[in-house]
Structure 1
Amino acid sequence: MKKIRWGILGTGTIAHKFASDLKFVENAELVAVGSRSLENAKNFADEFGVPSSFGSYEEFAESDEIDIVYIATPNNLHHPNTLLCLNNGKAVLCEKPFALNENQALEMINLARKKNLFLMDALWTKFLPHYQKMIEIVKGGSLGDIKVVLANFGFRANVEPNSRLLNPELGGGSLMDIGIYNIFTTLDILGKPDEINVSINSTEQGIDEQCAVIFKYNSGAMASLFSSISANLSTDVEICGTLGRLKLTTPFYDSTSVLEHYFDGEKQVIKTEKEEGLGYQYEARNATNCLLNGITESSVVPHSDSILLMQTLDQIRSLAGIVFPIEQDSHLNRNA
């Protein structure tokens, strides 16, 4: 079977993690890396044995060697980088957040559909075995009616004031960086909320250092979601129903998490498969198989999921008063 040729755009921490796991994906090979710095690209290529390195995003996107691009650049570049790659005929797996707002996401998805190219939001957690098992249990009804979801994700970020995490120009803040995990997990469990309440601690730069979100549903269900880049949180998820409770242990978003099922005072640990690696190979395998089979939209993270997630993040930011500088441009403003 032919091999799908991957390129990685960006050379930061997440790019390193993805590259290290790509070797576990059958019928996939890493053939190119791109950066705004040729030196960084070459260093990355040397580390992972990548044949081609490019010192500009444009040269990278124009290369005929690449079938699909993993975009691992800062948040504010996900939209323009995705459009660049799609316009050059490349399939795209774009790191979260998929875009800065719904309008950007729709432009990306519409272009992919127009060009009949694969495009997926890189919500890697959704592909992990424990997360897939969680969805199966929730949908199976053994927990009864879900009444409460509690999700926390936080760490103390000892970073400079102009770092990516704190820079509104780069789409920073706890919500977009880590709170997004709480949001998409709850959307998978309970669906679109009927009411949202938000409270934040804002930094001098105008982004959220801590973000507390409450989802309310007409069914009577509620979700409490908290993200922080100033304190270490438990970083777990509890799903509480009328018949039982399910916990995704710390850290709930990665492959080391396990499921604990509580029923009638008894705890059962539900085991799921554990592959070697960090867990990024699951999303890469799904994308690779989609390309091999001529599929342009993943069933695990369909475009509708990405749109709902961006709509929800937009609503939360609107309630919190978080506006990114790029959104002052009317073309990109989420309310335009």
Structure 2
Amino acid sequence: MTRWGILATGHIAGRFAEDLRLVPGAELVAVGSRTPESAERFAARHGAARAYGSWAELAADDELDVIYVATPHAAHHEATRTCLEAGRAALVEKPFTLDLATGAELVELARVRGVFLMEAMWMRTNPLILRVCELIAEGAIGEVTHVRADFGAAGPFPPEHRMRARALGGGALLDLGVYPVSLAHLLLGVPQHVHAWAKLGPEGVDENTGIVLGYDSGAVATLSCGMVGATAVTASITGTTGRIDLPEPFYRPDAAVLHRAGAEPETLPAELVGGGYQHEAAEVQRCLAAGLTESPLVPHPVTLEVMGLLDDIRARIGVDYA
């Protein structure tokens, strides 16, 4: 049995707790929040045995095997550091941190302490996304030449909402754009050329962002994210001999459509159970059982490469969280 703690009590924390019920061998034992009242309400709602009114108390619980960090972006670094310093394994909601420097600090701390650490980029543990990667590796669409993906939300988000709050790491890029960027990285790796533009809101965070990534192989990625209109939230992966389309939402699709040159389209279905968080939880448990300190599906170098790319894009569009 893997004994879980959840740090934070918001919407994502609740969805993760619900999906944890679907993972064999998983048990939600404790929850921690900044206030005892919030922790106690969450524990009662999701069946956790213990509720703590501080992050440190949760991290100090020696009966926990791993803690899921579900705070807003700006608190990921502090919350995760609290877990790691207590010797507690951590699964950290995306984006990993606000920037590469703080992300690298956490990875180094986990290495020194010999503690498991993983970013909760659930797309990289999704069975259908992994099958798509297998097909591409097998040459199903030839050499990848173009990745297109978008993620836009309609809003409107008031100034105090976390999406607009600069102090909380707001903006479309870190909250939504991390998915298109991560998909491009998954398929093409680190780009050699980066171009980006964004419309910034009065709070100094990006409202609508376009990104073009170029690769020395000749491949390109055209990506967008925004919080001023609901986009299709789809993706297409084009190769020299075919294409794979991912319908809405592309990061957790219910099917993929494979177009091979000279053949009828082939639909690859996915069995959607729960909210999709169970796959990342199962991967954490598999790694812990194997004695690993990082996941081969979401390894530390990949997390840091994506954080570095997000830093580069933010610098180009003029969003600074300092």
- Name the TM tier (shorter chain): over 0.9
Q: Which amino acid aligns with 1:243?
A: T
The 3-state SS of whatever aligns with 2:265 is strand
- Of 156, 159, 164, the residue aligned with 2:157 is 159
Please show how residues 186-197 of structure 1 align to structure 2 within 5 Å.
186-197=184-195
Structure 2 residue 279 is matched with structure 1 residue 292: no
Alignment partners' CA distance in 2, 1:174 and 1:276: 28
Corresponding residue number in structure 1 for 2:45:
47
Q: Which amino acid aligns with 2:66?
A: I
- Of 234, 237, 244, the residue aligned with 2:235 is 237
Q: Which amino acid aligns with 1:111?
A: L
Structure 2 residue 318 is matched with structure 1 residue 321: yes
Is the 2:2–2:25 contact (alpha carbons within 8 Å) kept by the matching residues of 1?
yes
Q: What do residues 91-131 of structure 1 show as CA deviations (whole Å, max 9, x unaligned)?
A: 00000010111110111000101111000010011111110
Q: TM-score, normalised by structure 1?
A: 0.93
Alignment partners' CA distance in 1, 2:231 and 2:303: 26
The 3-state SS of whatever aligns with 1:65 is coil
Corresponding residue number in structure 2 for 1:68:
66
Corresponding residue number in structure 2 for 1:104:
102
Task: Name structure 1 gaps, 5 residues minimum.
Answer: 328-336
- The CA deviation at 1:53 is 0.5
- The CA deviation at 1:23 is 1.0
- The CA deviation at 1:311 is 0.7
Is the 2:9–2:70 contact (alpha carbons within 8 Å) kept by the matching residues of 1?
yes
- Of 236, 259, 264, the residue aligned with 1:262 is 259
Q: Report how many residues are paired.
A: 321
- The CA deviation at 1:37 is 2.0
Corresponding residue number in structure 2 for 1:174:
172
Q: Which amino acid aligns with 1:143?
A: I
Task: Please provide the CA RMSD for this pair.
Answer: 1.1
Q: What do residues 169-227 of structure 1 show as CA deviations (whole Å, max 9, x unaligned)?
A: 00011000010000011011111111010010100000001110000112221110000
Q: What do residues 58-89 of structure 1 show as CA deviations (whole Å, max 9, x unaligned)?
A: 22222222111000001001011111110011
Alignment partners' CA distance in 1, 2:214 and 2:263: 27
Corresponding residue number in structure 1 for 2:116:
118
Alignment partners' CA distance in 2, 1:94 and 1:126: 14
Structure 2 residue 142 is matched with structure 1 residue 133: no
Percent of aligned positions with the same letter in both sequences?
Answer: 38
Structure 2 residue 302 is matched with structure 1 residue 305: yes
Is the 2:254–2:269 contact (alpha carbons within 8 Å) kept by the matching residues of 1?
no
- The CA deviation at 1:232 is 0.6
Corresponding residue number in structure 1 for 2:33:
35
The 3-state SS of whatever aligns with 1:165 is coil
